[in-house]
Amino acid sequence: MPTYDFDLFVIGGGSGGVRAARMAGQRGARVALAEAAELGGTCVNVGCIPKKLYSYAAGYAEAFEEAPGYGWQFDTPRFDWATLKANRAREIARLNGVYRGLLDAGSVTLVTGWAHLEDAHTVKVGDAQYTARYILVATGGRPFVPDLPGRTHVTVSDGMFDLPDFPKRLVIVGGGYIACEFASIFNGLGAQVTLVQRQSHLLNTFDEDVREFLAREMGKAGVDIRLNAEVATVTRGHAPNAPLVVTLSRGQRLEADTVLYATGRVANTEGLCLEAAGVALDAQGAVKVDAHYRSSVPSIYALGDVSTKVQLTPVALAEAMAVVDALFGDGRRQVDYDYIPTAVFTHPNVGTCGLTEAEARRRYGDVTLFSSEFKALRHTISGRDERTFLKLVVDTASDRVVGLHMIGPEAGEVVQGFAVAMRAGATKAHFDSTIGIHPTVAEEFVTMREPMPG
């Protein structure tokens, strides 16, 4: 048997990589992890966590707007961008330390620097070389910006949290969850936001009713949504403090202080020398893996955004547990990708679990739909015109609820609970027989009785 420096060498210190490293270490494996940046990956540093914090910040603007309806009187509030940035940075630094503590608790050797493969069992970081029985690639993804005139003038999502100055005019290009979330955040914080989307709708993979309802609500809140629009160029004038100018393919010109491109993400495999080690990549540059997260090289595994089509932090964590179990356990743990709940932290929030109506029709043929749209109790005297939308998709033959969708307050919190029931096989009859909590928005899911026509 060959002798290796480590049993497992993990490349990437994001959520999936840290989880795999520390759990393998706790099982007695000799583990090292290489990371060139701060621990925690995209989610902690420039993704889920700071984005949710900024979403909370934007929510206070809505609360201030609603407060007079509930009898509160106060002077006009003032938002300070520098304070938000500083407080966010302090919290992220704390979380970086938490992740370091998790690695220490698993007796994981942390190697600082950019790693690349030399062969199927060898990793090089700087001038140092390490061998391992298994190598796990968990380097995540990075924002993708298409090649266009003026590409150097645009910003990606990673840079939005620490902009030197708050953008009074923000143009966002894209229509996915990142674009929509940042549109809601900066609109709430006081920016004039224009969202440019080349397709005819937002949130391409979501239910059609959800897409249309969210676009209306975001529009009512003040986001200028331009559908079926494409950017031709991004330019900046030569005068001091000249604005950026976004010219659309039909000739319209939009002035902006910042242009955010949120046009998707790609696997972060560049510079890892994966091909030299024999690791096969797909057309988009992601690592090809089998059902057990093993690449084309038997000793090299990959998980998370660098290889999966379900790019969610909890999915990466689940995949990490499956990999560790396969390598250092009984190999029984598997990840079930059905009924994965997810949320979009727009204003209002989106929460969803299971199939869209279109997906359900393709899979089951005959489906029964239930939906409800209303003004939540909070807004009956808040003065705001925000509305809430809920939808159930039911397989008619089995009565099983196969899709659940919500746009409204704390949609993610609400849908998380229903996801448990859906994974357990809950039917519409189960929903109907459940007593609701009154008065809540969530109770509407168990009181909808009349199917949608057609």
Omega of the bond leading into 453 within 30 degrees of 0 (cis): no
Query: DSSP per residue over 31-42, as a string?
Result: EEEEESS-TBHH
- Distance, C-alpha 431 to centroid of its chain: 29
How far apart are the C-alpha atoms of 111 and 18, rounded to whole Å? 13
Q: State the residue for tokens 């809140």.
A: 221
**8 A C-beta contact, residue 28 and residue 8:** no
- Tokens representing 245 are 């100018």
238 catalytic per annotation:
no
Four-point Cα dihedral 40, 45, 51, 57, nearest 10? 120
Q: And the tokens for 102?
A: 């998790």
The CB-based long-range contact list for 122-129 (8 Å cut-off, 24+ gap) reads 123/9, 123/11, 123/34, 125/34
Please report the DSSP string for 135-172 in residue order. Answer: EEE---EEE-----TTGGG-B-GGGGGG-SS--SEEEE
Token representation of residue 308: 């999966």
End-to-end CA distance of the chain, in Å? 66
149 Cα distance to chain centroid: 28
- Active-site residue (options: 116, 379, 405, 438): 438
What DSSP designation does 210 have? H
> 68 and 44 in contact (C-beta within 8 Å)?
no
Q: Which residue has the tokens 């397709």?
A: 199
Helices and strands in the chain: count of H runs, count of E runs: 10, 21
Which residue from 193, 214, 195, 192 is spatially nearest to 203, judged by alpha carbons? 214
Distances in Å between the Cα of 250 and the Cα atoms of 109, 153, 301 are: 55, 21, 46
Sheet of strand 388-395: strand arrangement: 342-344, 350-354, 401-407, 388-395, 367-374
Closest CA to 278 of 133, 120, 135: 120
Burial status of residue 339 (CB atoms within 10 A of its CB: 0-12, 13-18, 19 or more): buried
Contact of 41 with 12, CB cutoff 8 Å = yes
Cα separation, 176 vs 260, in Å, equals 13
- Known catalytic residues are 438
